Structure 1
Amino acid sequence: MSEKRDYYEVLGVDKKATDQELKKAFRSLARKYHPDKNPDDEEAEARFKEVQEAYAILSNSDQRRQYDTFGHNRPGGDPFSGGFQGVNINFEDIFGDGLDSIFTQFFGGGRQRRREPKGSDLLVRHRLSFEAMFNGSEE
C-alpha cells in the first residue's frame, strides 16, 4: 500500500455515488475489516484505516470536491498525506444502536447522548383573587 489507491475504488463505489451509497459501502467495509473482528491481522487493520480515510474525504463535500478535481496530487501539497490521522466516526453509523446497550452493561451508562439545549424558563406573575381562582374565573 505504498501508493494510495483511488478512494472510490477503496470503498467500491462509483464516482457519482450518493452520500447514502458512500455511507452504506463504508459501514459494510468497516464492519468487515474492523480490528475487533480481525485481531492480530495487520492487513485487515491497514485496510480498515484506508477505508476510514477514504470515507473521511468523500463524506465531506468540500474535500470530496477537491479530491474529485485533483485526486491525491493536489497542487501546493497533498492535504491527504501525513498518514492516518484518525477520523471522528459515530459507531452508530457502523453498527446501528446495538453497541449502546453493550456499553451500558459493561461501563454503566455508555456514551452520553447530546441533548438539544432547552429554552429559557418563563416566569409570569399574575394577581388573582382566591375566589376567582377557585371558581375558574377568566380574568
Structure 2
Amino acid sequence: MQLHDLQPNAGSNKSRKRVGRGNSSGSGTYAGRGLNGQGSRAGGTKGSSFEGGQTPLSMRLPKLPGFRSPRRIEFTPINVSELEARFEAGTVVDGEALKAARLVKCADEPVKVLGMGELTKQLTVKVDKVSASAQAKIEAAGGKVELPC
C-alpha cells in the first residue's frame, strides 16, 4: 500500500449542500432560510453573548474596583531583622549586597527598609527608602543611612 492508494471510507465524506442555485437544485428561492424574519437576512443572527433580551452576564457581573497607575513604583520591603540575619557588622548594604544575599532578584530593584525586628550590627544602608522606625534602629546600632538625593 502506498500513500496514493489511501482513500476515505465510502460514504464518510459528503459534498456540501450548495444552496440558492435555482429551484431545480432543490434548495432555491429561499435557500432553506424560510420566508421572512431575522434568520432569512444576511448577518441576521444574534451574537454568542445574546441572552434573549435579558441583561448579559458580562454586564451583570461586578466590575473590578480601583485604579492602578502605570507609573507606580513598587518597592520591595526588607525588614531590619533580615539585615541582622544576613549581613556582618560594618557591611555596606546596597543593591548588589542585597542581590548577593538573595533578598532581591535584581540589584536595580527599588527597596524600602522597614523597622520590624531588632538590629545590633553597625551597617551602612544605601537603599531607595527607609521607614522612620528602621532609620532610628540603624542609627541606634551605630550605623548610618544614605538615601539617594
**TM > 0.5:** no
| TM-score scaled by length of structure 1 | 0.21
Larger strand fraction of residues: 2
Higher-RCO chain (CA-CA 8 Å, sequence separation at least 6): 1
Largest Rg, 1 or 2: 2
Q: Name the one with the larger helix percent.
A: 1
